[in-house]
Chain A
Amino acid sequence: MKKFNQKIRYDFSIIENWTHANSKVLDLGCGDGSLLNYLKFKKNIKGFGIEKNPDNWLLSLKNNIDVIQMDLESGLAGFETNSFDLVVLSRTIQSMRNVEDIIHEMLRVGKEVVITFPNFGYWKNRLQILQGFMPVSKELPFKWFDTPNVHLCTIHDFDNFCKKNKIKINERLILTDKKSVNFYPNFFGALALYKLVSK
């Protein structure tokens, strides 16, 4: 591959840093396949995508991604245990029904797992709620009536979830406007990125 010609999202480089070279990566909800192609380009990974939406699925195929059309809500039944080095779920967890199931499935199939989600505890979200409205932001671009999001959570919520489910957090990075946030991240952070492994 000569040049990377798909759109690069700013969180790609962080996921890149968390990806071992030449590893096998499964991207759940891979959209147009840009993350996988980015990781192929940068880290020479072997990538597979899962995508439910037919139009996105086709975009992935056109972008030379090996992509399986299936609904994540039914788990990862077709995938063998520990068959991937890394399983990624990027900005999708908040719209899933069976959050617990899919995280356990990811940890079953992948040796490591990356999950990213918009932090509902971000101060701009809190402010909009204080003002009496459901938050609408860059990370949460939907109105209350057309949102696919059903399981929004804060960074504290997710930390507790991992603790309760005996999931080890190997890496955690909180971002706002592409910059890392270390000061009260649950208040000042817009996007949360986690790298997890089973304990």
Chain B
Amino acid sequence: MKEINSVGIVKPETFKCTDSIELSCGEKLDNYNLVYETYGKLNAAKDNAVLVCHALSGNQHVAGKYKKTDKYPGWWDNLVGPNKPLDTNKFFVIGINNLGGNEGSTGPKSINPKTKKIWGANFPIITVEDWVKTQKKLVNSLGIKKLSAVIGGSLGGMQALEWNLQFPNEVSNTIVIAAAPNLTAQNIAFNEVARQSIITDPDFKKGNFYLNKNKPKRGLRIARMLGHITYLSDDVMGSKFGRKIKNKKYLYNFSTEFEIESYLNYQGDKFASEFDANTYIRMTKALDYYDPTKKNRKKLSEVFKKIKSKFLVISFTSDWRFSPNRSKEMVKGLLANDVQVSYAEITAASGHDAFLMSDDHYHEIIKSYFKNMSISK
């Protein structure tokens, strides 16, 4: 994509919510901040707003750059912008950093107003349900009563779904990509390994490390490396890295030799220097807890009864962390309720990461879907 289609230089803003929120865990926050960005213009009827929900390590910076010299644009810049699949000439797009996030929204790094100290370990665990509640506050504060669409991949897809369960009358279209209605045991298992690697890092100090010189980077690094393995498919790892080594010969020591090792180390280091360990373990918990079926006591088809929005569900063939079968479960539940749903199973090699990639067919689907949405002029 050319730079021409970029939303350009953007600036994050802060929504200061003074309404308290009763969290799923039972705790209460009297007020909180949410950092967000918007692209495009809200029309007079205020019916062209699209909320982008982020995944595990995402944030409000969906598209554009903060300054020209930024190395990378926002995390979904290939999808969001003028004349891009989610066209900011037509839609008013909102990116948000979820409560408990890493980019300035109230979270573990913030000061607890009651104690005047950094929250750290005491910051409560926030759930998908909580996020959607707070997202709605932000959306309403912008004067929007009903979202034209809510879109998200992976954990973001769960939020998009949850919007329909909490506020079925306030969303017209829902796009759920590479997601699942709840996590499988295997998926929770990966999250637990990630959490344990962070929690057992000697520098983690039970989550109260902010005033220390050493941050729990080792744990975060390993958690991210593990994550990256599961976001890719065996095939794409094979074709990208194979058994390629950096040196001509084996060194017979434990330095980084295979290219896959160096990729994982690079990704791990990069992430560990940017991300907050407390946020990471809480995000994985939000993933684990989300379950509209309430431990299978309810069928999805029952849970989905209240849904009114149209749905587009997308999965990727090589995604084994959020496999197509999990998307099909959602589609089945939607069909059982006569919800207008389209489902695409995209042939892609990249695994779970495919939802962030710029694949022509994938983007054409999103583009077409948004093109068919009618909004006021």
Contacts and interface: CB of A to CB of B under 8 A. Distances in A.
A79 B372 contact: no
Contacts of A69: 343-345
Interface string B327-345: 0100110011010111111
Contacts of B341: 66, 68
Interface stretch (A11-19, A56-64, A143-151, A163-171): A56-64
Given A54-B347, A58-B361, A58-B364, A66 B331 contact: no
A54 B331 contact: no
B332 A66 contact: no
Contacts of B331: 68, 78
A139 to B, nearest CB: 30
A58 B368 contact: yes
Contact of A68 (B301, B342, B361, B372): B342
Given A68-B341, A68-B342, A69-B344, A62 B368 contact: yes
A67 B338 CA distance: 13
Nearest to B347: A54
A61 B336 contact: no
A70 B327 CA distance: 12
Contacts of A64: 372
A110 to B, nearest CB: 13
B365 interface: yes
Contacts, number: 52
Nearest to A48: B335
Q: How many of chain A's residues touch chain B, expressed as a range?
A: 20 to 34
Interface of B: 301, 310, 328, 331-332, 335-336, 338, 340-347, 361, 364-365, 368-369, 371-372
B332 A78 contact: yes
Contact of B343 (A46, A54, A58, A70): A70
A62 B361 CA distance: 13
A61 B368 contact: yes
A78 B342 contact: no
25 contacts: A46-B338, A54-B361, A58-B364, A58-B368, A61-B365, A61-B369, A62-B371, A62-B372, A64-B372, A65-B342, A66-B340, A67-B343, A68-B331, A68-B341, A68-B342, A69-B345, A70-B343, A70-B345, A78-B331, A78-B332, A79-B332, A79-B335, A80-B301, A83-B335, A83-B336
A67 to B, nearest CB: 5
B166 to A, nearest CB: 24
Secondary structure class of chain A's binding surface, majority of residues: mixed
Contact of B328 (A46, A62, A67, A78): A78
Nearest to A79: B335
A58 to B, nearest CB: 6
B305 to A, nearest CB: 13
A11 B152 CA distance: 41
Interface string A122-145: 000000000000000000000000
A24 B342 CA distance: 16
Nearest to B332: A78
A46 B363 CA distance: 27
B365 A58 contact: yes
A68 B343 contact: yes
A77 B333 CA distance: 12
A80 B361 contact: no
Given A58-B361, A58-B365, A61-B365, A66 B328 contact: no
Most A CB contacts (10 A, CB to CB) among B332, B343, B347 go to B343
A83 B301 CA distance: 13
B136 to A, nearest CB: 27
Contacts of A66: 310, 340-342
A46 B371 CA distance: 21
Contacts of B336: 80, 83
Given A66-B310, A78-B335, 13 more contacts: A54-B344, A58-B361, A58-B368, A62-B368, A62-B371, A67-B343, A68-B341, A68-B342, A69-B343, A69-B345, A77-B332, A78-B332, A83-B335
A65 to B, nearest CB: 8
A89 to B, nearest CB: 18
Contacts of A48: 335
Contacts of A62: 368, 371-372
Nearest to A26: B335
**For the complex of A and B, 8 pairs with smallest distance between CB atoms:** A78-B332, A68-B343, A62-B368, A66-B340, A69-B344, A69-B345, A67-B342, A66-B342
Contacts of B328: 70, 78
A134 to B, nearest CB: 32
Contacts of A70: 328, 343, 345
A115 B341 CA distance: 24
B338 A54 contact: no
Contacts of B332: 77-79
Nearest to B301: A80
Contacts of B338: 24, 46
Contacts of A78: 328, 331-332, 335
